Structure 1
Amino acid sequence: MGQLRLLKGLDSCVGRIAVWIAAFIPQRLPAGPPASFLLIRPGGIGDAVHLIPTISAIKTAYPDATIDVLAEKRNSAIFRLSPQIRRVFHYDRPAELFRTLRTTYDVVIDTEQWHRLSAVVARLTRAPVLIGFATNERARLFTHPIAYSQDYYEIDSFFRLLAPLGIEQREVSFPFLAIPREAAERGGALLREIKGKTFVTIFPGASIPERRWGAERFGKVAEMLAALGVAVVVVGGKEDEGQGEMIVAGGTGVNLAGRTSLSETAAVIRKSALLVSGDSGVLHIAVGLGVPTVSLFGPGRAKKWAPRGDRHLVIDKGLPCSPCTTFGTTPPCPIAARCMNDITADEVCTAVTVLLTATGVLPSCCGKNEWSES
């Protein structure tokens, strides 16, 4: 988080000046159909997942072209789940950033929505075609600035970046993430602990405290599932280990938080009947894998980020003050994140049973049960 604050601080302090200077950098002239692409994607896991269908569309339109990605350490592992990508460089590793700038590309697409420095990086490549969102001064640096709205589903927003290339948006096919063999084998080995039982994955983590629902409530969901003969597998990072232990304390499943890489986490999720999560990158991984989800939204923009389709149920209390997150920044909450705390365990349990019944995991009689928090 410290490095993230540093990057945002640098963008705020020097971004406008850097944009003004970079606007004078000359570009190369285009020479025929594009044969090489660079997509710049700083930020979190969710953005990275939602960008994969756009990458697939580029590869379909230009099957012989190479596609590289300039990402951050915190989201780069997602791009290992896309076979269309040739190389992944790191935006926050200077040696790799400079290597990217020394590489010749025909098209550079900056997929960042607001911060300016990624647009400066795009201009420094001197690619003949530069595409990016026109949300502020950054628009000056692109040959093709694209309008951006926080009311568009994020997958749709990324597809809009392809309009200058004549690539039309297409229906997204699921799953669009691929699990490496080694990660699949490791995930399978870890799941031996539940002895072949049907299971639901729970991710209790969040990027900010305002998006956390709480281990106690997730634990009630685990208890309900155990009563139905369904195990629970908790996933997450080292910071989620304690919550995971609380969730499975009643012997309802296994806690894998802190024990898996991102690709191994994806392998576990792929084998589950359903994922329960707040608005998180892990939620979007499940969507990309074609796994049903029950998601809890509060500060985040459900219109932009919530999963679509009848295999996904979204719980959002719709308070007048939510969503409050704008371009990835959430202000301190004066009412103790009521948008999340007002979501009851009973609501989530009902949503889980309804979706498990609809997908055939549970018999139809179970979907009619009511679950009490008492």
Structure 2
Amino acid sequence: MVRIGNGGERFEGIREIAVLRGGGLGDLMFAMPAIEALAAAYPEARLTLLGTPAAATLLQGRTDAVHAFEELPVAPGVRDSGEGAPDLDEFSARLHGRFDLAVQLHGGGRNSNPFLLRLGARHTVGTATEDAEVLERWVRYVYYQHEVLRGLEVVGLAGADPVTLDPRVAVTDEERAAVRSRLGVTRNLVAMHPGATDPRRRWSPEHFAAVALARIEAGDDVVLVGDDSDRPAASAIVAAVGPAGAARLHDLVGTLPLGELPAVLGAADVMVGDDSGPRHIALAVGARTVGVFWFGNVINAGPLDRGRHRVLMSFVTRCPVCGVDVTQVGWTAERCEHDPSYVDEVTPDRVLAEVEDLLHTR
């Protein structure tokens, strides 16, 4: 038995499990090892993920650990917005008493614990900050902890042991081959996601373009992925590559359906990205990755191995504009209004060296 933290005994008579995990795609990936641990510990139970529609779109048919999905209502600290989202009171009333075990993998619990308790589950486990209502079994939420390990520590309270430390999202060999055929890849395929939700985690488009140009000149194909928010960065990369490399640069930003993103990332020989959802999905589908991280985020979100995944870190400790300490993070930290990149001190040649080494040692 390997368990993160002190853990607890398994609960008896568990037939229905709810897991609360909203947020972005990266947040969902961090929760997957905990979800797989629950599925293994309670093989007779049906596991329902309480999440966003994106979670259902991404995971449908790509995991055996989640059996059903429920879209979260808009609720403070749980889901900020969502067109067509269910009503909070209707959601709570409809699901009240359905679950034997409800698991909170959504932040520190100030908002998510009361939300979870409205479901009336027989047993509850999760995290709690100093000002949060506690659940039946709980562990203190401390910001600096790897999110995968945090989730595994939580489900360990319910007697669930880890089965993997990496998220797993299934992509078939046929899907990979179809993507490479559709793009006309004859050598290597390098995927790139030039974005992140937090502007401070974004590597500049000029740096991404330098890597793309170098790989295209080496005979590789490059595919850009992302949503509409990544359009400015993608357009800058396309412009920098220019007509000479256009045939080998495939811009799918804003046009690739989310359900097809795992297959595209799974087809890549290497994925280059910021600390963002697509990079975490790339890891989950088995792609090799080179990530550009602010060093503080490596603690919470960095990949665990270095045979397949490389991490290049910036060591910015103060805002480049106003000088405020940026190592103090979380809900109580001072947040200035500035959004400069914290990671642009990482140079393209360092990223290229890691890409080349991963291609050489695969």
Q: Which residue is 1:320 aligned to?
A: 317
Matches within 5 A, 1:1-374: 32-80=12-60, 81-92=62-73, 93-95=85-87, 97-98=91-92, 101-102=95-96, 104-140=98-134, 142-172=135-165, 176-179=168-171, 184=175, 188=178, 192-248=182-238, 249-250=241-242, 251=245, 252-298=248-294, 301-310=297-306, 311-321=308-318, 322-323=326-327, 325-326=329-330, 331-332=335-336, 336-337=340-341, 339-359=342-362
**Residue-by-residue CA offset, 1:333-355 (whole Å, 9 max, x unaligned):** 65833x31211122212221122
Question: How far off its partner does 1:278 sit?
Answer: 0.5
Q: What is the SS of the residue equivalent to 1:302?
A: helix
Structure 1 unaligned residues grouped into runs of 5+? 1-29, 360-374
Matched-pair contact (CA < 8 Å) for 2:97–2:121: no
**Residue-by-residue CA offset, 1:277-307 (whole Å, 9 max, x unaligned):** 0010111101111211111112752111011
Question: How far off its partner does 1:326 sit?
Answer: 2.3
Question: How far off its partner does 1:260 sit?
Answer: 1.2
Q: Which residue is 2:5 aligned to?
A: none
Matched-pair contact (CA < 8 Å) for 2:32–2:167: no
Question: How far off its partner does 1:328 sit?
Answer: 11
For 1:31 and 1:296, how far apart are their aligned partners in 2? 41
**Residue-by-residue CA offset, 1:177-217 (whole Å, 9 max, x unaligned):** 124899x48x9358613344421100001102222212221
Q: What is the SS of the residue equivalent to 1:297?
A: strand
For 1:203 and 1:225, how far apart are their aligned partners in 2? 15
Matched-pair contact (CA < 8 Å) for 1:295–1:314: yes
Q: Percent identity?
A: 25
Question: How far off its partner does 1:42 sit?
Answer: 1.7
Question: How far off its partner does 1:162 sit?
Answer: 1.8
Residue 99 to residue 285, structure 1, CA distance change in 2 (3 Å) = farther
Matched-pair contact (CA < 8 Å) for 2:23–2:52: yes
Residue 131 to residue 335, structure 1, CA distance change in 2 (3 Å) = closer
Residue 128 to residue 102, structure 1, CA distance change in 2 (3 Å) = closer
Matched-pair contact (CA < 8 Å) for 1:299–1:323: no
Q: Aligned residues, how many? A: 325
For 1:327 and 1:206, how far apart are their aligned partners in 2? 20
Matched-pair contact (CA < 8 Å) for 2:179–2:267: no
Question: How far off its partner does 1:324 sit?
Answer: 5.4
Matched-pair contact (CA < 8 Å) for 1:41–1:70: yes
Normalised to the residue count of structure 2, the TM-score between the two structures is: 0.81
Question: How far off its partner does 1:144 sit?
Answer: 0.8
Matched-pair contact (CA < 8 Å) for 1:48–1:78: no
RMSD over aligned Cα atoms: 2.9
Higher RCO structure, 1 or 2 (CA under 8 Å, sep 6+): 2
Residue 147 to residue 79, structure 1, CA distance change in 2 (3 Å) = farther
**Residue-by-residue CA offset, 1:70-103 (whole Å, 9 max, x unaligned):** 1124544344332221211111322573465245
AA matched with 1:350 = A
For 2:301 and 2:195, how far apart are their aligned partners in 1? 17
More helix by share: 1
For 1:88 and 1:237, how far apart are their aligned partners in 2? 23
Q: What is the SS of the residue equivalent to 2:132?
A: helix
For 1:262 and 1:330, how far apart are their aligned partners in 2? 34
Structure 2 unaligned residues grouped into runs of 5+? 1-9, 74-84, 319-325
